[in-house]
Chain A
Amino acid sequence: MAKLLVVVALAVPLTACKDDTAMDAIYEVKRQNEADLLALPGVVSVGIGRAPNGQPAIIVGVESAGAAGARRVPSEISGYPVVIQNTGQLKAR
């Protein structure tokens, strides 16, 4: 029982750390790929957010659902999910 408690006590902060490390690494992956993603026709933004399951993800904004470049956006990069979001054109307001 005591052993189990120790394992749980250790596992909780470790899980929290894992998410932080995942976040740090995803920044780097995003940075290395954003120029290529933004060069695709119709892609207007690249950011870091969360996939529907809560996992850190690279979010690619496109100006329309049928944007030519959308088909060329990979579904994952270096193990991180890439989510396409139809943001529409981004305009200064």
Chain B
Amino acid sequence: MAADIGTLKSALAQHRERLHNKQQVVATGIGYKSAGGGKTSDLSIVCSVKKKEAISRLRAADIVPKTLDGVPTDVIQTGTIRAQQSPTERFRPAPGGVSIGHTAITAGTLGCLVKKGDQTFILSNNHVLANSNDAQAGDAIIQPGPFDGGGFPQDHIAELHQFVPIKFEGQQSSCSFANSIIEFLNFGCKLINSQTRYGAYSIKAADNLVDAAIARPLNPADVSAEVFKIGPIAGTAAGDLGMTVKKSGRTTGFTTGEIQQIDVTANVQYGPGQVARFSDQLLAGAMSQGGDSGSAVLNADNRLVGLLFAGSDSTTIINRIEHVFAALGVTL
């Protein structure tokens, strides 16, 4: 006759301490006894173990008795039980989807690993790894990012290798013709002792396609090719209208969405008065918040379609991965 729940509870209370003292036992509880890959209808005291071993290999004191006060026991393998790790924590190896950043920023997201030649690099946004153009190759990248408690040198994971400069609107012109005229005008101002000086500003900077950068891990063993809560990346694909997408990011974790607009031209704010225009972007619904920048965006088949970099309360803006790879000269 099957034991009633009260008998099981008191038997477990009686023996719990002794069970937990056995090597391998990580949890105890009451559940249906398993047999032959399925569940029976018999209640038992279930002992979860890190690794199930043959009785012959165990010390006598570590063997879970077949019964306790006449109540059957069961042993199942669960592995080590850990508190769920948050993407804002320190990870070694660090997968895609976790906090990362240049030492001068708050925190962004590690997108994924990419290859350039035979070297492996971390892919994320320029504004995450290169402080929105205000950085130099070799600068320290830390995981987790500064806002999440990451510090130098203890969390130094990589060094900035390359970034695609972001062209901001109303930026000082890089046109050499305009600048030589300005030099001439300013020289004239000096001559007549005027306090006025001229400057050449681009009326409209050329459109940006990507907000992207790569960093070289100090030790390849410190990074993982998987994306946290998603797994390995299966390849790349072109984002299209109506496509279901997902990402794993530092702030909102694993989220899904749908590409609602393509060929998007958008004015994106980078700080007070700092605006950059991007074209040929993908736009999805609300699937991100600040800190998710740099997340790899994948389709339902785990193919990489983009790099998340901006958004609002109701939208998420994504660089096409084709443009990211072409601008940086990288592959998966």
Contact = CB atoms under 8 A, between A and B. Distances in A.
Among B260, B268, B312, max chain A CB count under 10 A is at B312
Contacts of B281: 47
Interface residues of A, number: 22
A85 B313 CA distance: 12
Contacts of A61: 266, 315
A47 B312 contact: no
A90 B266 contact: yes
A91 interface: yes
Interface in A33-75: 34, 38, 44-50, 59, 61
Interface residues of B, number: 36
B103 interface: no
A27 B266 CA distance: 15
Contact of A86 (B132, B242, B290, B314): B314
Interface in B79-117: 108
A89 B315 CA distance: 10
A44 B267 contact: yes
Given A87-B315, A91-B310, A93-B309, A46 B265 contact: yes
A62 B260 CA distance: 16
Contacts of A44: 266-267
A87 B310 CA distance: 12
Contacts of B127: 92
Identify whether the interface residues of B are mostly helix, strand, loop, or mixed. strand
A72 to B, nearest CB: 17
B263 A92 contact: no
A91 B264 contact: no
B217 interface: no
B265 A47 contact: yes
Contact of A48 (B241, B288, B309): B241
B143 interface: no
Contact of B264 (A47, A50, A86): A47
19 contacts: A38-B265, A38-B267, A44-B267, A45-B264, A45-B267, A47-B263, A47-B281, A49-B260, A49-B283, A59-B260, A87-B315, A90-B311, A91-B268, A91-B311, A92-B269, A92-B270, A92-B310, A93-B310, A93-B311
Interface of A: 27, 30, 34, 38, 44-50, 59, 61, 85-93
Interface of B: 108, 125, 127, 132, 211, 241-242, 260-270, 277, 281, 283, 288-293, 308-315, 317
